[in-house]
Structure 1
Amino acid sequence: MHPIFNALKEISLTVIYHLLGFAADSIDDSLAFFSPIKRPDSNNKISDIDDWTDEKIMRELKSLVRNGQPALSGNRVRLLTPNTVLKLELAHGHSTQSTQSIEGTGLSLVFEKTMIPVSRLRRVLRPNMERFVVVMDFVRGTLLSDAWPTLSIFKKIRIAFILRRYIRELRQKATASPTTPPGPATSEPAICFAPSIFGSKRERRGPFQTANELSAFLYEMRRKAGKHFSSVWLKEGWDDTQPLVFSHLDLVPRNIILGTDGQVWVIDWGFSGYYPPWFEYVAMKRQARSEREIEGVSFDYWEILIPFICGPFFREERWYHSMAAGLIAVCQWMEYGEEEIGNLGPQADFPVHEGILNYRGENTVAVALWSMMPNITVSPMLSLAVDGVFNGGVGRIRTNNPV
């Protein structure tokens, strides 16, 4: 499609989403005036582990694992009591002296500053330097990812309406001060753990002391990626004068619960932190596209509703994709816009360490390529080039399955 038509389409969609958002916000504010939003009743109840010691919680956890109690999510969340769960959180780049978890600080901040239904934080333990144990209330209900296919279009729109309200609350009531560092809401600058933004292989960046440092880092990544894109991309940018806002950065259907109490709950705040407003939008778009194209999981209308939920950050998304090549790590999968992947050129040289490469035996190198756009055939010409062999013991290296 001609660039002019693309621009007109984007402008039209931006206007439409802004008008829909304005109408939704006006209706929501009117309803809240006559019927103020209240905190879920379960958040005000006394926890059944309030009188437990930390040692007792850890003994119960070990007992659950030893007795083979199935986890509720992966291998990280377990039911501690009928009303309480605990979650194991890896200390992603935390200072060894820190006693704050990303999940714990995120839950506390959202509970204190907003009316968003979140699991009530009860305790945070750190049994060792590798992990935290986050103890919180158990939310009864159905995951939105399970319920979505059975919901009517009107119920889907209602949920999008509610999620938009939550995003508005975060941006209005949990805005960072000028001195707040980007990243987790911990008391000191921390590693920014955001795979949906920084990628799946080098998902940890920072810590950044100020918003200007984060902005400078992103623009430096854009500069490194600049040679792969036309001059049009170089003129694009994003408004880095806006204050950072508290963001979830993992807002997908599997992290939303339709509670038995009628509330829409948001769980899993392990990637949360203070980031530019458009990060939430880009994270939701990337995760939705990844699940659809890589995992084969899609939810009707979800991607259409994302600009309504978070705001139509189309320009910022385009700029992000122009910058993403600068974030590439070895073997990292990234998303690129149409025709961009062909311009990236060869991967930069890098050492392959023992454990990834067998220094004293045979190794197989596999390459998988696919198009992120429909109806495009990938027909690359590939070759394996070895610049040098060091420290001996490898023997002759050759390709046995050239493309």
Structure 2
Amino acid sequence: MRTTAPGLTTVPGRDLRRRKFQRAIYTVVVQAADLIQDIFSLFVHERPCQQPSNACSWSEGEAISRLLKAKPICSYLTNPERSNVCQVDATTASKLVYHPIDPSESPELLALRLIYEQTTIPVPRVHRLVYDPVETSYAQVLMDYIPGRPLIHAWTTLSFWEKLRAAWVLRSYMRQLRKITHPRADIPGPLGPGLTPLAFCTPTTGVAWDVGPFADANALNDYVNRRSATAAGAVPIPPGFTHPEPMAFVHNDLHMHNIILGDDGRLWIVDWEWAGFFPRSYEFTSMAMQCEWHDTYAAPWSFRLCVPFIADPYFDRYRWLAGMVP
């Protein structure tokens, strides 16, 4: 069971006074940083100028031929051959997606389109789908290949000021995500066609199974409260946590392997498979949990210090929710 918050992780969970001091310090720093961004427009990125992809000119047969020769890539799998992401050529990557009716309506594709329409966050552009000729519920998505290094590999090579700038840029991305509007903004879970709630899994709720669907934030909050009462090792519901918190668009899997330091110097965000509308604290909670997972995900101490700044210091909610995750 995880009971300590990222950042100053040596603080005992029972030391309430010190946790409050940490939260106050981070809150002041976050508010000051946001004010500076608002006034001076620091670190506001325009969308990268991207060249047309070769994938747009391929015939269906040529696309299939290239996919058969594509090289699997994944920075955190010991066996990359298990990866569902491949590099097709110098400008194109592919990812296998599934949807029982139409893969073009898969949550990740809908999320990428929404991000591209409403933010300037650098994300891969989706160019086309190549459907499986037998299993039509599956398709290969051809999208931009982002040359660069996962932040987990690049972090130790950055100077102090480069690390600070990276945290500041990620904070600006977080603020953009929280301003996204959508007809499903009040429905917890991933995006989908229409307004039908969908089941989901996240690091916050446990990645081994789907939960839901939930019609609204109240239904999700009731589920979490019931689980808190029955989960082994869970801490009691803190005062004020019985009511749902504000919802926002959340990446939900923002570990350092999914942040790419591009060769162009920009920070790119990939793998939006678990993205959707969730309580705002879920971004901090999922980042914090994955910082402490096994060696594949474990983040450097200096990045853990940045997480409360990037996603807001939800220390108490993290400690409570983490106690419910196996």
Question: If the length of structure 1 is used for normalisation, what is the TM-score?
Answer: 0.69
* Secondary structure in structure 1 of the residue aligned to 2:204: helix
Structure 2 distance, partners of 1:72, 1:2, is: 38
1:111-260 equivalences in 2 (<5 Å): 111-127=116-132, 128=135, 131-172=138-179, 174-176=180-182, 180-188=186-194, 189=196, 191-202=198-209, 204-225=210-231, 233-238=236-241, 240-260=243-263
User: Any idea what SS the aligned residue of 1:187 has?
Assistant: coil
Quote the residue 1:378 is aligned against: none
The CA deviation at 1:284 is: 0.5
CA contact (8 A) 1:121 1:135 kept: yes
In structure 2, the CA distance between the partners of 1:280 and 1:37, relative to structure 1 (3 Å rule), is same
Cα shift at 1:301: 0.9
- Give the aligned partner of residue 396 of structure 1: none
Measure how far apart 1:263 and its partner are. Answer: 1.1
1:125-184 CA deviation, whole Å, 9 max, x = no partner?
Answer: 442255332211111222211111111222111101110110011002x14557642211
Does the aligned pair in 1 maintain the 2:188–2:216 contact within 8 Å?
yes
* TM-align CA RMSD: 2.8
Decide which moves more: 110-119 or 138-147: 138-147
- From the superposition, tell whether residues 273 and 149 of structure 1 become closer, same or farther in structure 2 (CA, over 3 Å): same
Per the TM alignment, residue 244 of structure 1 is displaced from its structure 2 partner at its CA by: 1.9
Corresponding position: 1:40 with 2:34: no
Q: 1:78 to 1:307 in 2, by over 3 A?
A: same
Deviation at 1:49, TM superposition (A): 2.1
Q: Which moved more, 1:109-118 or 1:186-195?
A: 186-195
Distance of 1:130 and 1:221 partners within structure 2: 33
Alignment length (residue pairs): 307
Do the aligned residues in 1 keep the contact of 2:148 with 2:261 (CA within 8 Å)? yes
- Conservation of the 8 A alpha-carbon contact between 1:175 and 1:244: no
Structure 1: segments with no counterpart, 5+ residues: 326-333, 335-403
Larger RCO, structure (CA 8 Å, separation 6 or more):
2
- Which stretch shows the higher mean deviation, 50-59 or 103-112? 50-59
Report sequence identity in percent: 29
- Contact 1:255–1:266 under 8 Å retained in 2: yes
Shift in Å at residue 316 of structure 1? 1.1
Q: Secondary structure at the match of 1:46?
A: coil
Shift of 1:239: 7.0
- Cα distance change, pair 58–142 in 1 and its aligned pair in 2 (3 A): same
Q: Residue 31 in 1 paired to residue 40 in 2?
A: yes
Structure 2: any 5+ residue segments left out of the alignment? 1-9, 75-79
Cα-to-partner distance string for 1:3-26 (whole Å, 9 max, x where unaligned): 997111111111100111111112
One-letter amino acid of the counterpart of residue 209, structure 1 = A
Q: Which residue of 2 aligns with 1:345?
A: none
Give the alignment's TM-score, normalised by structure 2. Answer: 0.83
For 1:243 and 1:175, the matched residues in 2 are separated by 13
Q: Secondary structure at the match of 1:160?
A: helix
Deviation at 1:56, TM superposition (A): 4.0
Q: Tell me, what secondary structure is at the counterpart of 1:85? A: strand
Per-residue deviation, 1:282 = 0.6
Q: For residues 325-368 of structure 1, what are the alpha-carbon distances to aligned partners after superposition, in whole Å with 9 as ceiling and x for unaligned?
A: 6xxxxxxxx2xxxxxxxxxxxxxxxxxxxxxxxxxxxxxxxxxx
Take 1:36 and 1:234, find their aligned partners in 2: how far apart are those partners?
38
* C-alpha distance after superposition, 1:90-136 (max 9, x if no partner): x3xx5446641222111111111101011111123442255332211
